[in-house]
């Protein structure tokens, strides 16, 4: 008679280092030393929150906790302590962890854990940006009124070998992640703010399929508006995929997860300070999506904390000076080659910098880190088509085109006492 498999419901935390292969290739001994220090921090905090490390190799950590609250509290403290640990390190040497947390049924054998509950946690950490935390809906339902942080709904993701898509939330643990949205909601004022908050309540109840605010009805860009985007003569090729014409949204996200570290390392060579940090900003699209205005490449949209009102989309208004929007890109060719596309940056400058373009500075960086052009700087004429395209959005929208509605992140209101 076969022995019955032991099972239990538990909370799984999965973590690993963003860009670990690059770090090791550039400085093996230094990276290993910093990894040991980071693991000491992580292991100490896991033990403090009644967790147990049960697996992991190299740069990865797998731990279980008796409750989702303890797991999320631990993850938040891990990211906070690692942020202090990294503060004095050069940008290129920082040890940044992605963390994913799932609540699920697992199989137990000789102290190790197996099953979908573990696999989903591991996939969630792959969805998180460097230094961030992603949690499954089951975890969110348990912690949303118990752990005093913000939560941002990212949408449903298909997980390899899992039948049903997983609803994912990002944990907003830092004040700078939460405050821009609060300020933007405050600016709505009166009846508009009341309606917006009421919409959040309905969204939480699960009864709203439409987005909280109506987006801008964008004019369809003309072919000549984006024809000037450069075809890269020698693009960075990463790998080849099968059936490129049949890629799903989950496939596009998986591709992006695999190549983002290499993309950023190349963009960073330009010397632009945002080129090496934008991927840690808030991302406003749920998955990479094909954009006609960027040459039918898959793009992702990020904005720094100063540009937090961008998340209001059609109600974003005029963004303040210092706001920066970033769009990176990749392409899947007809024969399946995955290649990096350009990085485009829009920075709001002080009044008078570029009146015709509402004081936006446009910068384009090629896949090898070469500066293609920047407004009022080297190659300024090469990026005029960016400005001309955005002018079509109209002054009332600060020349901002927004993400197509199906791909927009849907924000929750991170109120003081939970949701």
Summarize pLDDT for 350-379 with one digit per residue, the tens. 999 999 899 999 999 998 898 989 999 998
Integer CA distances (angstroms), 134 to 17, 102, 171, 290, in order: 14, 9, 6, 24
Taking only the tens place, the pLDDT of each residue in 306-328 is: 998 898 888 889 999 999 999 99
Confidence check: pLDDT of 388 > 70 = yes
* Closest residue by Cα to residue 104 from 93, 119, 91: 119
Cα–Cα dist 325/301, whole Å? 7
Cβ pair 153, 169 in contact under 8 A: yes
Residue 204 CA to residue 197 CA, distance in Å, equals 11
Contact 263, 328 (CB under 8 A): yes
Share of the chain above pLDDT 70, in %: 80
Q: Which domains does the chain have, with CATH numbers?
A: 6-173 (3.30.70.1230), 223-407 (3.50.70)
Which of the four pLDDT bands, split at 50, 70 and 90, describes residue 34?
very high
Tell me if residue 326 falls in helix, strand or coil.
strand
Segment among 120-129, 193-202, 210-219 with least mean pLDDT: 210-219
* Mean pLDDT to the nearest integer, 264-290: 90
- Residue 317's contacts (CB-CB under 8 Å, 6 or more residues apart) are 187, 309, 398
Q: What is the pLDDT of residue 235?
A: 52
The pLDDT value recorded for residue 29 is 92
pLDDT for position 382:
86
Assigned token pair, 248: 């799903």
Gyration radius (Cα) of the chain, Å: 22
DSSP string, 255-307: HHHHHHHHHHHHHGGG--TTTTTGGGSEE-BSS-EEEGGGTTEEEEEEE-GGG
Predicted confidence at residue 173, as pLDDT, reads 78
Q: Encoding tokens for residue 156?
A: 């449903």
Q: What is the pLDDT of residue 136?
A: 93
pTM (two decimals): 0.51
Residue from 350, 257, 247, 349 nearest 290 by CA = 247
pLDDT higher than 60, residue 347: yes
Rounded CA-CA distance 214/402 in Å is: 11
Pairing mode, strands 97-109 and 133-136: parallel
H helix or E strand, kind and range, residue 192: helix 190-205
| Mean pLDDT for all residues in the chain | 80
For 350, which DSSP code?
Answer: -
Q: How far apart are CA 144 and CA 297, in angstroms?
A: 36
What are φ and ψ of residue 139, in 5° steps? -70, -45
Q: What is the mean pLDDT of residues 173-200?
A: 45
pLDDT surpasses 60 at 232: no
Instruction: State yes or no: pLDDT of 175 exceeds 80.
Output: no
Kindly tell me if the per-residue pLDDT of 43 is higher than 90.
Answer: yes
Helical packing angle, 116-127 and 249-267, nearest 10°: 40
List the one residue out of 388, 371, 81, 57 whose CA is nearest residue 219: 388
Distance CA 328, CA 351 (A): 27
Mean pLDDT of 65-70: 95
Q: What per-residue confidence (pLDDT) applies to 2?
A: 62
Per-residue pLDDT at 70 exceeds 70: yes
Give tens-digit pLDDT for 77-131: 999 999 999 998 988 889 999 999 999 999 988 878 898 889 899 888 888 888 8
For 131-155, write each residue's pLDDT tens digit.
899 999 999 999 988 898 888 887 7
Beta bridge mates, 106: 8
Tell me: pLDDT of 52 over 70.
yes
């Amino acid at each position: 008679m076969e022995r019955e498999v032991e099972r239990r419901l538990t909370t799984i935390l999965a973590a690993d280092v963003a860009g670990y292969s690059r770090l090791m290739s550039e400085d093996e001994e230094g990276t290993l030393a910093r990894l040991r220090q980071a693991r000491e921090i992580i292991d100490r905090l896991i033990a403090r929150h009644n967790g147990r490390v049960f697996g992991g190799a190299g740069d990865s950590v797998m731990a279980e906790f008796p409750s989702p609250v303890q797991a999320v509290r631990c993850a938040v403290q891990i990211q906070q302590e690692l942020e202090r640990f990294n503060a004095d390190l050069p940008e290129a040497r920082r040890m940044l962890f992605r963390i994913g947390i799932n609540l699920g049924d697992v199989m137990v054998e000789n102290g190790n854990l197996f099953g979908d509950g573990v696999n989903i946690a591991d996939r969630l950490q792959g969805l998180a940006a460097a230094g961030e935390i992603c949690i499954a809906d089951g975890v969110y339902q348990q912690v949303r009124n118990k752990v005093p942080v913000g939560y941002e709904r990212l949408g449903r993701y298909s997980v390899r070998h899992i039948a049903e898509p997983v609803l994912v939330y990002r944990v907003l643990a830092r004040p700078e992640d939460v405050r821009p949205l609060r300020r933007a909601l405050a600016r709505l004022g009166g009846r508009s703010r009341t309606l917006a908050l009421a919409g959040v309540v309905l969204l939480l109840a699960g009864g709203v399929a439409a987005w909280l605010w109506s987006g801008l009805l964008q004019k369809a860009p003309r072919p000549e508006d984006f024809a000037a985007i450069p075809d890269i003569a020698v693009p960075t090729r990463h790998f080849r995929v099968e059936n490129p014409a049949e890629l799903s949204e989950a496939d596009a996200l998986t591709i992006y997860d695999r190549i983002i570290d290499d993309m950023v390392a190349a963009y960073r060579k330009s010397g632009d300070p945002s080129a090496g940090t934008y991927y840690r900003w808030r991302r406003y699209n749920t998955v990479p999506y094909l954009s006609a205005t960027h040459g039918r490449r898959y793009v992702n949209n990020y904005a720094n904390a100063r540009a937090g009102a961008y998340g209001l989309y059609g109600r974003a208004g005029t963004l303040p000076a210092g706001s920066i929007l970033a769009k990176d890109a990749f392409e899947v060719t007809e024969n399946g080659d995955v290649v990096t596309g350009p990085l485009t940056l829009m920075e709001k400058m002080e009044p008078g910098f570029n009146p015709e373009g509402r004081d936006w500075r446009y910068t384009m960086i090629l896949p090898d880190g070469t500066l293609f052009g920047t407004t009022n700087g080297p190659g300024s004429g090469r990026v005029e088509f960016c400005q001309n395209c955005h002018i079509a959005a109209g002054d009332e929208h600060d020349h901002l085109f927004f993400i197509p509605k199906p791909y927009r992140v849907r924000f929750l209101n991170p109120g003081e006492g939970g949701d």
